[in-house]
Amino acid sequence: MKKAWDQELPQNIVNKFMKWFNEIQILKDVTVPRCMKIDILTELHVFVDASKGSYAGCVFARSIVDSRVSVILVRAKSRVAPLKLLSIPRLELMACCVGARLVNSILKALNMPDLKVTLWSDSTTALWWIKEYGNWSVFVANRVKEIRQLTQIQSWKYVPGNMNIADLLSRGCFPRQMLNSKWWEGPSWLK
């Protein structure tokens, strides 16, 4: 939506902003668990997703601590979609790039390149591009090349959209939704 700097926004956008603004005080109650136990049995699970407005990725560490499974958010990143309109599959592929970069930076920071990594996407098209070889457009080929350099093809898996926790990042949320521990502790099925 193109607007001049002095034009008023549509009422639906104003209402959405005001709801977000009125909930911002809730964020003072958010506590982020920061203690992580990382060892050679730790697994990293990367979730990626995109919508027409943004694309994102998040990484969770799954460890066994005192005979129980612990899942914790390690890092997340979201990006606003480019102004040039891209198809959802292309945005999903860009989300896969974000996820690949995130997990690669974590593995380097931990100096533990052999940790088991699983990357999850709900886009069958993006997964097909990553796993298959073909005569892709330059846009797709460049991103697939980067993803393959940073990750192992067999590490990419499908997750149904309703089980993809990165959906919260790609679609946005209100502050009240950030109080949901599912975000900080990952999807329950990882436990």
Structure tokens at 121: 């996407």
pLDDT value for 181: 60
42: Cα separation from own chain's centroid: 19
Indicate if the pLDDT at residue 129 is higher than 90.
yes
What is this structure's pTM? Answer: 0.88
Residue with tokens 């098209």: 125
Bridge-partner residues for 47, per DSSP?
58, 120
pLDDT digits (tens, 9 = 90+) for 23-40: 888 888 777 777 788 888
Bridge-partner residues for 61, per DSSP?
44, 72
Return d(Cα 119, Cα 138) in angstroms, integer. 23
Return d(Cα 27, Cα 175) in angstroms, integer. 6
Find, among 85, 5, 12, 72, the residue nearest to 45 by Cα. 72
